[in-house]
A and B are shown apart, each in its own frame.
Chain A
Amino acid sequence: MMFSAPALLLLSGLLAVPALPHPHALPGGVPLQEASTAQEVEPGPLHDLGQALLIDAKRVIVRPGEELADAQVLVDGGRIVAVGTGLVAPEGARRLSGQVLMAGLIDPWSAVGLDGNSISDRTASAAARAVDALDPYAYDNLRQDALEAGVTSVRVGIGRDGRIGGLSAFVRNDPNFDLTRSVLRSDAAISTAIGAQPNSDAFTRLDEVDRLIAELEKGKRQVESQADYEKKLAEWNKAIAEKVAELEKEFKKAKRDREKEVEEAKKAKKEHKDKAYKEDKKPKAPRYDADAVELARLYTGELPLIVEIERAPEIRALLEKTKAYPRLRLVLAGATDARFFQEELAERRIPVIVLPQRRDLGGVVAHDELALAADLHEAGVTVLFGSGGRDAQATRDLPLFAALAVGRGLDREAALAALTTVPARLLDLGHRLGSVERGKDADLVLLSGDPLSTTTRVQAVLLAGELAFEAP
């Protein structure tokens, strides 16, 4: 929906943020030529360009369901510094114009940048990090292909075939990939898979659920033993402090008594022995276990747990057994049979990363998984799209997945949200990515038409305010 009056509302809303008053965000767009925008905004995590960029678009998708017609977006220092209509470029600013501007697309289930062994690793444990498996010197072409399709960032996970996978990385699809600059999060989630082996039988799969639960239990124990240790340590510290206070209070008397005792001992020609204080031993910290520390973060809901799971029996088992962990942030991926559990998924706010493509991975309704996104959304389940985490090239096709899902009945707005705001929030980067709003990272895509149309071409892509791709 296009509207122009809310443009002002939006701007005034932005102006209400006291920390970042910005001259370019004034309604009417009167520019203050002398203002250097770069100093007003916290520098972005990547490069400080020192040169602003004004993007002019016929349609700005601020966030799904909220759009501006004939609007401008001002980018500086790697961030969006103003969004509105009638903005004028500051002096020296570069210009870019096109039809549709939106936030860069996010693939929350990708394989870009990882080698096959790391993806499927049987022995990876919770503390293993995907970021340590990324090769910054390889796969540039895959990052480039994804970028040219408008996919600006991805979550990549490792250790699919282990009892629990390692820490996922959330990275930018930067063709000039850099391990410090391009990594937005080295602990975006922990991901694993149930029944990912092509010929796994039902008992093996249920066993895999139990193993996963055992890992969660490990996390729970870690939390409990840590809490127990901290409690005991506090008690011990308190006891020591009390004793010290008591001793200090009676210090003079104790000193006199001692001197007297020493004198008497001397007279009696005996050796003087100081009184020994018997206190409890200091409690010992639980043995450091890197895996348990990460599993504890799962248990407390600090990290989301993304489980690739397809068939009804194991989904049922997983949902049943995770009820004992109320703070767990469970996310299902694939979930071909999720329809059977859609009420529960909606009620427990468990999102599903859908892969709207024929895969024949099993599941009762595997033949109709293309309509899964629409059905789940209808039932109130939060839906995302992912490229499946196996084939790195498939990340490039993320926008086409969304279009296919719309063809099978998914609401367009929900499809766009599933590509932008929802994955950003899920991976705890909602404050930086997913929408075209002031203060967010300038990871933006300029398109020749509607994002879900097959004839639309990507005209330009910005990564942290830097032009990473421009169509010839």
Chain B
Amino acid sequence: MRRILVILLVMGLVCGAAFAATPVTINMFQLKVEIKDALDAYAAKYSATHPGVTVKVETLGGGADFGGALKAKIQAGQVPDIFVIEGMGQYNVFKDYIADLSDQPWVKDTDLAFMVNGKVYGFPVSIEGYGLAYNADILKKAGVDPAGLTTRAAYEKAFALIDSKKKELGLDAVVSMAASVSGGMWWVAAQHNLACYWGGGLPFDDTSVIKKALKGQLDDARFLQYAKYVQLLFKYADRNILLNGSYDNQVASFAQGKTAFLHQGNWVDPNLKQLGVTFKMGYAPHAFLDTPEKGLYLFAPSWYCVNPKSPNAAQAKAFLASIAMTPEGQDYMVNQAGMIPAFKSVKLQPKGQLSQALMAANARGGNYGVFFGMLPDGAGQNVFAPIYDLFAQNPDNIEQFISDMKKAVATLPTM
């Protein structure tokens, strides 16, 4: 009898010990294909230095439908411990699976956490941003000072001047901008350019203009100035790229020096490097107002969320904190993944010229927020995209563009 008790006791101890050491696997599901290798390496390093914790990263992105795949996983009961959301629309869909992260140590080190009603729900993956990228060499030859490009009037003058010297500068057109639905580039116009109207010239967290739009109203005077700026860009843009071009066409035209300006964010840095670009470049502000604007547009394109229903939620939070707060994590963000960290205490410098310009702007301050993530899902692609496409086909018809946008914004509250 006693022997049996001893055996039972020993068995209990063994089992208990086994449970305590049960290795935890944190499943992460993310969509940035370009950082896959760097993140995999960091996860492996983290797993090696934290016994009992294994971080497994699954990446699905590029053209793939990440949101759909995440939905399928949740339906199948395989909710990842850490996953990515890209804005308010997705937050509303997945909010049952998103934990409150307000108590995390990195929260006070960033301005770009994903917040709803004062609570933090998302870890900012990186800072991305844009202005109008310019080729400094071409501007110098044409006699345009990029520092002076702070109003729409200044752009009008500069574009006309460069356009008149197209032949001697070897240019196809002044601006490389894409807006076509068919080229899959609707987001450049209907998301990023339209974001200038939502946030340009306002304090960084001023969402009054987009909040008004979500109630169905457009600020007529402000929108007229914005529409004139879009018209200016479309008129001086390379027609083929504007109406049919793909991302590669658009970036290549700028990289080959066939256009002086590029309407893209700092994510083109690796593409430009690949294309062997050596010329100097920088960002000019999207100054669409009559009054001067000097800031660039900065935003966190996506956030990591933690599933509160997972038994590994605490370890998942610790993993995210290590990215923001440890030297290894910061090295991963900046040097390995080539991202601009959203945390102010990070001192490392990114390599790309446009990323450096953004980081300098971030340090300088006076930048503008990007709020298209607050729009209902599908508003950009299904509602605004065809309007910009039509305007690109016929940039003279500015009244039509304004009335189309007015009607479209009026439908936002019912979406």
Co-complex (A, B)? no
